[in-house]
Amino acid sequence: MDKKQVLIKMEQNEKLGKLNEHVCPINYNSMLKVEDNYNYLRPGFFNKIGKFFARELLKLASLIFSSHFKLKVYGKENIKGVKKAIITSNHISYFDCALIKKPFFRKKIYYTVGEFNNFKGIGGSLLRCAGTMPFSGNFEAMKNFIKATKILLQKDNFIVFYPEGALWWCYEKPRPMYNGAFMLAVKNEVPIIPLFFTFKNLKKKKDGSYKKRYYLHIGKPIYIDKQKSSSENIKILKEKNFKFCKNVYEDFYGKKLKYECGDININAEINNTIQYK
């Protein structure tokens, strides 16, 4: 699909209230399936070497794409002193992982991805070494995923989630969020750091789309309340995360948040990507 088709599909989905559905076709033929014994931590000497080079490439990609999209970051002071957290962001580009890296340049970041983004071949190996952590419909694999996130957070790392689920290219509005990121924040007693991308049109292209300037807004860490239950904390974290995104949207674009489908319920039940006991 070209960008014009993607924009039309996004508009159609918003009118239908399908705000978490994929708008681009998925190529499952390129997917490396996540099996029972999938090892998210990738130990071993050669993996360590691969991780080093892949992470250096990610830093280089961060510099290149931040320059290309003229990225401006607001709120970097909000992450000062935070040693570990779950990061949430709207999913607006194939390259937003590199853009997110910019304010966390000297920190180790891992990125959760859909299983269909766990690619075969050298490209997939590089992405895994750079820190991608694929979800899976396989229950045993997801048990390994949850164990790995616990270990990584204990070692003072950051893990990125895209709680809206699907990539919508440069979509300006915040969308309903899955519970997974907030469940794991509560389970591991770490804060949520909410991020939200906004855009300004620069130059119109031949296909009718615009070259855009990207802005990344970083919110203050959202901490759990140990006096409340897990379910209460999940709801509170998600509400505060969405409120941050809504406030950024309304302040940046100077208009109230409205959807073509009418009002949405951000606490409506969504089939969670992550489920655990």
Q: Average pLDDT, whole number, for the chain?
A: 92
Strand order, beta sheet including 132-134:
72-74, 210-218, 192-204, 85-88, 158-161, 109-113, 132-134
Q: Which of 3-12, 144-153, 156-165, 263-272 has the lowest mean pLDDT?
A: 263-272
Percentage of the chain beyond pLDDT 70 is 96
Q: What pLDDT was estimated at residue 249? A: 98
Domain boundaries, the chain: 3-20+42-253
Q: What is the pLDDT of residue 161?
A: 98
Average pLDDT of 200-218?
Answer: 86
Half-sphere exposure (Cβ direction) of 207: Cα atoms closer than 13 Å: 11
Confidence bin at 276 (pLDDT 50/70/90): very low
Identify the pLDDT of residue 208. Answer: 66
164 within 8 A of 182, measured Cβ to Cβ: no
Q: Which two tokens stand for residue 54?
A: 């892949």
The answer to whether the CB of 218 falls within 8 A of the CB of 76 is yes
What does the pLDDT read at residue 274?
39
Residue-wise pLDDT for 35-67, tens only, equals: 998 999 988 888 899 999 999 999 999 999 999
- Tell me, what's the pLDDT at 270? 56
**pLDDT given at position 59:** 96
pLDDT at residue 95, rounded to an integer = 94
Per-residue model confidence (pLDDT) at position 46: 87
Q: Is residue 210's pLDDT more than 70? A: yes
Within 10 angstroms of residue 158's Cβ, the number of other Cβ atoms is 23
Does residue 196 have a pLDDT over 90?
yes
Phi-psi map region of 112: left, alpha, beta (phi>0 left; psi -120 to 50 alpha):
beta
Buried/exposed code over 165-197 (b: 16+ C-beta within 10 A; e: otherwise):
bbbbbbbebbbbbbbbbbbbbbbbebbbbbbbb
Q: Say which residues have a Cβ less than 8 Å from residue 255's Cβ, sequence separation at least 6.
A: none
Rounded to whole angstroms, the Cα distance separating 3 from 137 reads 30
113 pLDDT more than 90 = yes
Determine the average pLDDT of the residues in 190-197: 98
At residue 275 the predicted structure's pLDDT band, cuts being 50, 70 and 90, is very low
Q: Which of 125-139, 197-211, 260-274 has the lowest mean pLDDT?
A: 260-274
Question: Which of residues 275 and 119 earns the better pLDDT score?
Answer: 119
Architecture of domain 3-20+42-253: 3-Layer(aba) Sandwich (3.40)
Please, which residues bridge with residue 211 across strands?
203
Predicted TM-score (pTM) of the model is 0.93
pLDDT tops 90 at residue 31? yes
